[in-house]
Amino acid sequence: MRIVSTDVLLVVDVQNDFCSGGALAVADGDAVVEPIHRVAPLFQHIILTQDWHPRHHTSFASEHPGKQAFDTVELSYGPQTLWPPHCIQGTQGAEFHAALQLPQAELILRKGCDAQIDSYSAFYENDHETPTGLAGYLRERGLTRVFLAGLAYDYCVGYSALDARRLGLPAAILRDACRAIDLNGSVARMEAEFARARVEVLESGNGLA
């Protein structure tokens, strides 16, 4: 697949708390950095997302007495998985992984900033209605196809890809540049959604040019 000037590489949440030793570490999460670096030179446009939570975010299990991390609760916008406190604004855990070096990235989009609602997708908060502004940015810049990499495949990467399709944008996930949480079958559920939405799942070294 040939990369063109209207394509964008969306690098999702490659942050310390999602990598080895982090508060919500994704298994082998550090391994996404090398394939991301390998494909980055193919793209004229790169955007980074950064989970950026207030200290008392509603998605944290610590905010729900009697609940544990990975339980599910019903909030005003629907079901919400509870997570260990992670990517808290201004902390080391919220910083990008030190090995990730993409100084050419033209935008850092911070998400999950509202204490009352989580935001997996780079495009919408978890009510699926409140936009982050990314769609408008892509539209104004004339960027029309999204390639995705980062953490985690079955959550923030996956929901971002599905919302790109919902917005009418072709979306392709670079599978070897992602790692998954796979919480209670979340990978299988997400891949079924990919099939329905026509999200492509590719290997970064397989035909990108």
Question: Taking the chain, what is the end-to-end CA distance rounded to the nearest angstrom?
Answer: 6
What is the spatial distance between Cα 7 and Cα 5, in angstroms, rounded to a whole number?
6
Assess contact for 161 and 173: CB atoms under 8 A.
Answer: yes
111 is catalytic: yes
Q: Choosing from 13, 118, 154, 163, which is the catalytic residue?
A: 13
13 is catalytic: yes
Q: Choosing from 19, 30, 111, 163, which is the catalytic residue?
A: 111
156 is catalytic: yes
What is the spatial distance between Cα 155 and Cα 119, in angstroms, rounded to a whole number?
10
What is the spatial distance between Cα 135 and Cα 104, in angstroms, rounded to a whole number?
20
Q: Choosing from 19, 87, 156, 178, which is the catalytic residue?
A: 156
Give the three-class secondary structure for 36. Answer: helix
Assess contact for 177 and 150: CB atoms under 8 A.
Answer: yes
Active site residues: 13, 111, 156
